Amino acid sequence: MRNVLTIAGSDSSGGAGIQADLKTMCALGVYGMSAITAVTAQNTQGVYDVQEIDAAVVDGQIRAVFEDIRVDAVKVGMVSSAAIIAAIRKRLLASGAKNIVVDPVMVSKSGYPLLRKEAVEAIRGLTEIADVVTPNIPEAEILAGFPVKTVEDMRRAAELIAERGAKNVLVKGGHRIGDDAGDLLLTGGNCVFLRAGRIDTKNTHGTGCTLSSAIACRLALGDTVEEAARAAKKYITRAIADAYEVGKGTGPVGHLTALYRKARMDTGPV
């Protein structure tokens, strides 16, 4: 069994953050562990409040895991302050962490800011130690410093982020207008476009968290970066197609639908 640590915020509605990460890890057959950076009050309609966890406590959670358990990959998601980001960076370096996947979460799907403005530079420092960075288009625009509209813009943004230290960059294309929801992966100096048609659903809560966690899982299982990105893209595409009708707003993707189907087949109607 491979072990994957997620460092991220908690989503009370269960569709994103720590909860999405652990569901993804379960679905992909790894042992999931967590260090919580913030507690959010949110549901499918929006984020209403955020309480950060003290940076020393975040550091302590990460340290406790590394001191006791082999960590085969790390996913870093929502980190809202420069102090927390600095603590994570320092601890991961001190622990010799490998297969680090950084999802630079900045704004929730409902528009709630999840990263303080003064912490943007700190998040750039975290991407410098990442094996894979997975910004969506708005996040890539902030990290790169220019508008990202086309596939060529995605390539330029990925190259600039890589120049600043990230070993591999996946710019997610879900925010692009049109039928193509493909992502651009920069790995080994080469660009690979991971094509995917756009699925007609409003239920896409947790897509970024899920994709980055899936990449971390596949890296832990021994995939190359390109293999991990392709497998994660296939998983998230199916999860979006299997999204749940939960709540009154943007529902979560279907992290565990294959397991749920099997459980119903094994036990009968539930």
**Per-residue model confidence (pLDDT) at position 21:** 98
Q: Of 174, 99, 97, 100, nearest to 135 (Cα)?
A: 174
Q: What is the pTM of this model?
A: 0.93
Which class for 15: exposed (0-12), middle (13-18), buried (19 or more C-beta within 10 A)?
buried
194, 233 Cβ separation under 8 angstroms: yes
How large is the angle between the packed helices 137-144 and 120-127, nearest 10 degrees? 100
* Pairing status of strand 73-76 against strand 100-102: parallel
Asked whether the beta carbons of 103 and 42 are under 8 A apart, the reply is no
**Is 125 marked active-site?**
no
Listed as ranges, residues in the chain with pLDDT below 70 are 108-114, 174-181, 197, 264-270
Please confirm, yes or no, whether 217 is among the known catalytic residues: no
Catalytic residue among 14, 182, 206, 251: 206
Catalytic site residue from 24, 134, 187, 204: 204
Per-residue model confidence (pLDDT) at position 227: 98
pLDDT of residue 36: 98
What pLDDT does residue 269 have? 47
* pLDDT, position 215: 98
Q: Exposed e or buried b for every residue in 128-151, given b needs 16+ CB within 10 A?
A: ebbbbbbbbbebbbbbbeeebeeb
**For residue 7, what are its two tokens?**
């460092």
- 207 classed as catalytic: yes
pLDDT for residue 191: 94
Annotated catalytic residue, options 14, 17, 173, 208: 208
Q: Is 188 left (phi over 0), alpha (psi -120 to 50) or beta?
A: left
User: Which listed residue (207, 210, 237, 250) is catalytic?
Assistant: 207
Catalytic residue among 17, 32, 209, 250: 209
Q: How far is CA 15 from the centre of its chain?
A: 12
Q: Decide if 204 is catalytic.
A: yes
- Give the pLDDT of residue 202: 87
What pLDDT, on a 0 to 100 scale, did the predictor assign at position 218? Answer: 98
DSSP string across 104-138: ---B-TTS-B-S-GGGHHHHHHHHTT-SEE--BHH
Where does residue 2 fall: left (phi above 0), alpha (psi -120 to 50 degrees), or beta otherwise?
beta
Which superfamily does 3-259 belong to?
Answer: Ribokinase (3.40.1190.20)
Residue 227: count other Cβ atoms within 10 Å of its Cβ.
14
One of 23, 75, 172, 233 is an active-site residue; which one? 172
